[in-house]
Structure 1
Amino acid sequence: MTLPNPEKSSNVLPPIAQVPAMWTFIGLVGGLLGGLAIAFLVPQALPIVQTWVQPIGEMWLRALQATIVPLVAALLFTGVTQTVAMASAGAMARRSLGMFLAFLAFSAGMAIVVTPLLLSLFPVPAEAGAALRISLGTTEAGPVPGVAEFLRSIVPTNVINAAANDRMLPLILFISVFALAVGRLAGPQREVMTTFFAALASAMLVVIGWVLALAPIGVFALSMAVAATSGTAAIGALAHYVGIVVLTGSVVLVAGYVFAVAIARQPLGAFARAMLPVQTIALSTQSSLASLPAMLGACRDLGVRETTSEFVMPLAVALFRATSPAMNLAVAIYVAHLYDVTLSPMVLISAWTVAILVSLSSVSLPGSISFVASVGPIAIAMNAPVAPLALLVAVEVLPDLMRTLGNVTMDVAVTAAVDRKAAQSA
């Protein structure tokens, strides 16, 4: 059984897709400053912005939205097949995957509780929320489904129709079951299907790479239109959003320490000291992959056997994104709250399921692509608009720091826990 190679999978994208996130952030800042100048200095130029600048941003947004369904379908198929393959690698792999999935479920469930609580304690500034809704366009929420209707909707009568109408939960569940079925086929047939979806995923990554290469322009146009219409209120909304998402992610970071102490039985002080160099590298690189050597060193300092760390850690880097369900759900819940979308228990269950499943498809992707591929389906499952994501991706460089911190902390904690369980069963 061959383990996933994080270094190999991280090079899927061509150079054109590797647009630094800072350029997108600069596009956001430039657009906001330009829009503010128009709003306060030359308000008579607003119709020109709405006629010529805003459509450019909307065209880029539409191109971004067009990639979500095929990209998620292809990546989810490959993610499920890779997970199933890992599960067949032996007891340690199954134990690792079990812990991964259990924590992903906790991560998603925590966000459903914590994010609305944070929004009630620190509400979205009314003026800022209204300004963003006006600038980005309103959405009309559909009827809230009852329990019976929700259960019926899980199994699509026509999966193509489900994809065409952005019904993400039935589509994702169908793809997951389909991937499991392909795993039962004979070798040559299985390889054909696996190769096809891997090629589809690679092609879609190239397409979204091209779209995201234009992100500085698209974000500049959208942010200029927003700022020209709403003034400084848009900046307040973005700052408030970053704070809510980072606070939600910080719960995952704290949970990593709790997991290390309660499950891995590591002394809190020793674990915290071992994590300091790892977290320093994580903050400077914003990459779990780049932090891998430091994480292996932390495992040695904690007394984790090398046979365990050298097996589990690459698996964790390739498959496990501890903060993804929590922070992706936080983004979607924030957008839904911003647009007054009703989040019924059934809708939240749907979003919880989607958040866990799509986290498997965010393997070794640059932050901007992971953001679109992971948050888009959750927002769609909530019946929340996707348009705000085009602006929020520009400030993802800030929450991404918390994502990386939480991920590397949980990677080491889970590896130590797997080693302890393996030692007990030996």
Structure 2
Amino acid sequence: MKKLALHWQIIIGLVLGILWALLSSAIGWSSFTIDWIAPFGTIFINLLKLIAVPLVLFSIINGVAGIGDPASLGRMGGKTLLAYLITTVFAVAVGLVLVNLIGPGKLMDQESRIDNRISYEIWANSQGYQIKDGINYLQDPKFMERAKKITDLSRAELQDASVSSKLETADSAKQSGPLQPLVDIVPQNFFSALADNGLMLQVIFFGLFFGISLLFIPNEKSKPVIEVVDSIMEVFLKMVDLVMKAAPFFVFALLAGVVSKMAGDDISKVVEIFKGLSWYSLTVVLGLAFMIFVVYPALFKIFIKKVSYTGFFKAMGPAQTLAFSTSSSAATLPVTMECVEDNLGVDKKVTSFVLPIGATVNMDGTCLYQAVAVVFLAQMHMIDLTLGQQLTIVLTATLASIGSAAVPSAGLVMLIIVLESVGLNPAWIAIIFPVDRILDMMRTVVNVTGDATVCSIIAKGEGLFNYNADKDPNEDWKLKEKA
């Protein structure tokens, strides 16, 4: 029997995990699931967190250093990075607008959201995080009994945790100034930033600073460093690969534990969880579809007038199809380059430079999904993120996209970074895991389409764009199949 592909194994694992949670909830075995199965899901999260920080650091350094000598790249390098930055920020903005308008997390049952909120406050207090919106349900006596039911803490311990959190929040607010968020980005000690998951923006800043500095030193000095960084990055990518090989088992434990903790012995709460996931998925799909069918064709219409709407999709069809099936921008890169060169008429000088960088630093679909996911998870836990906190999501998602490896499930690792940047529980990724695979396939199509769009715009500006509207986009592929 042919071995099942990993993504099918993961899907089977998550389905079995959900079914086990439903069964254990129905027969009153939730405690057994939480005590003996859920810990393996925690191990999975810890492994991803272990890999995430160094992977981001070395991927950012490698991506920035891969730009090459800034003096020789000149205008095209600057235009490429600016274009990728603009499309990424716009994608995150689209995601935030949609998730705030639709409010998928707010469409869940209010009682379930209150339980989620109490669980969040208990977690935040135990981890030393500030309560995001300043509201503390644990201080309300009428919620204390509910809190005791979903935790092992006593009433006195819950009250102490609540008061402690409030005092820390007040002291922090008094000491911080209007530019404190900017100050917090620059680390005093890089190794302290590495050791503290809440300081991920400082790690990203250091990676960007280090990578840019490599561009301004002689090649004979920088080349050995770049080679070491590239090799280390490959090691961490292999670590992700090894962890994902065991993902079906871990996903089973993760889903079983999360659903059991949220539902307890009340199976009706599971229905509310998946009701919320359906609205979340719809929000992400709407955002991704808007980017593919409106934003990118509009950019072509504005900057490259001679490519028709249907011509654009005919030209990019093979790359988009492969992106959907592989969920990997890197795996799709050779096909993307052929589509852009052969079908859109972009000169190889441009594609060989712009597209490989795009596969590393341009993750429009991933950033959009991360923005929607973080706000959705906050909404279902009754956390109202402020404009400043949502702008932090924009910044973190944009910068983290530079370090997001162009391989399947890398976006999930980056989502941990974005959640931690706004003080939310990274273990919440388990909630959206059941629908992540299909959304991963869709957002990879957006990433690849965005790469091709920016590449074509850069080529047009450099006078290296020669599109032939009469050419059959499938002609070269037919010839290759015959050969």
Instruction: Say whether residues 1:398 and 2:433 are aligned partners.
Output: no
Which residue in the other structure is 1:381 paired with? 421
Written as runs of structure 1 = structure 2, the 5 A alignment for 1:11-26 is 20-26=6-12
Which of 364, 368, 375 pairs up with 1:322? Answer: 364
Structure-1 separation of matches of 2:398 and 2:72 = 21
Q: Which amino acid in structure 2 is aligned with residue 77 of structure 1?
A: I
Which of 49, 54, 78 pairs up with 2:33? Answer: 49
Confirm or deny: 8 A CA contact 2:108 2:273 kept in the other structure. no
Structure-2 separation of matches of 1:313 and 1:185 = 25
Written as runs of structure 1 = structure 2, the 5 A alignment for 1:350-365 is 350-365=392-407
Which of 224, 231, 240 pairs up with 1:208? Answer: 240
Which residue in the other structure is 2:201 paired with? 169
Q: Which amino acid in structure 1 is aligned with residue 211 of structure 2?
A: A
Q: Which amino acid in structure 2 is aligned with residue 80 of structure 1?
A: V
Q: Which amino acid in structure 1 is aligned with residue 90 of structure 2?
A: F
Written as runs of structure 1 = structure 2, the 5 A alignment for 1:10-89 is 20-40=6-26, 42-43=27-28, 45-83=29-67, 85=69, 88-89=72-73
Structure-1 separation of matches of 2:462 and 2:354 = 12
Residues matched between the structures, number: 405
Confirm or deny: 8 A CA contact 1:336 1:385 kept in the other structure. no
Structure-2 separation of matches of 1:291 and 1:77 = 20
Confirm or deny: 8 A CA contact 2:61 2:207 kept in the other structure. yes
Structure-2 separation of matches of 1:316 and 1:250 = 20
Confirm or deny: 8 A CA contact 1:274 1:298 kept in the other structure. yes
Which of 241, 258, 267 pairs up with 1:226? Answer: 258
Instruction: Say whether residues 1:421 and 2:421 are aligned partners.
Output: no
Give 1:353 deviation, angstroms: 2.0
Post-superposition Cα deviations, 1:102-146, rounded to whole Å, max 9, x if no partner, equal 212222233333322221797344455456667899532514766
Post-superposition Cα deviations, 1:19-56, rounded to whole Å, max 9, x if no partner, equal 7222222111101011111212x21x222222211222
* Unpaired stretches in structure 2, ≥5 consecutive residues: 131-168, 467-483
The two structures have a TM-score, normalised by structure 2, of: 0.74
- How many percent identity over aligned positions? 24
Change (3 A) 1:31 1:189: same
Change (3 A) 1:172 1:406: same
Post-superposition Cα deviations, 1:51-94, rounded to whole Å, max 9, x if no partner, equal 21122222222222222222211222212212355884354444
Greater radius of gyration (CA): 2
Confirm or deny: 8 A CA contact 1:81 1:180 kept in the other structure. yes
Give 1:309 deviation, angstroms: 4.7
Structure-2 separation of matches of 1:135 and 1:234 = 15
The two structures have a TM-score, normalised by structure 1, of: 0.82
Instruction: Say whether residues 1:149 and 2:191 are aligned partners.
Output: no
Which residue in the other structure is 2:226 paired with? 194
Instruction: Say whether residues 1:283 and 2:314 are aligned partners.
Output: no
Change (3 A) 1:165 1:202: same
Which residue in the other structure is 1:235 paired with? 274
Structure-1 separation of matches of 2:190 and 2:119 = 34
Which residue in the other structure is 1:250 paired with? 289
Change (3 A) 1:100 1:87: farther
Change (3 A) 1:397 1:151: same
Post-superposition Cα deviations, 1:194-251, rounded to whole Å, max 9, x if no partner, equal 2332233223223333332222122211212233341323333333332222222223
Confirm or deny: 8 A CA contact 1:260 1:414 kept in the other structure. no
Which residue in the other structure is 1:15 paired with? none
* Unpaired stretches in structure 1, ≥5 consecutive residues: 1-17
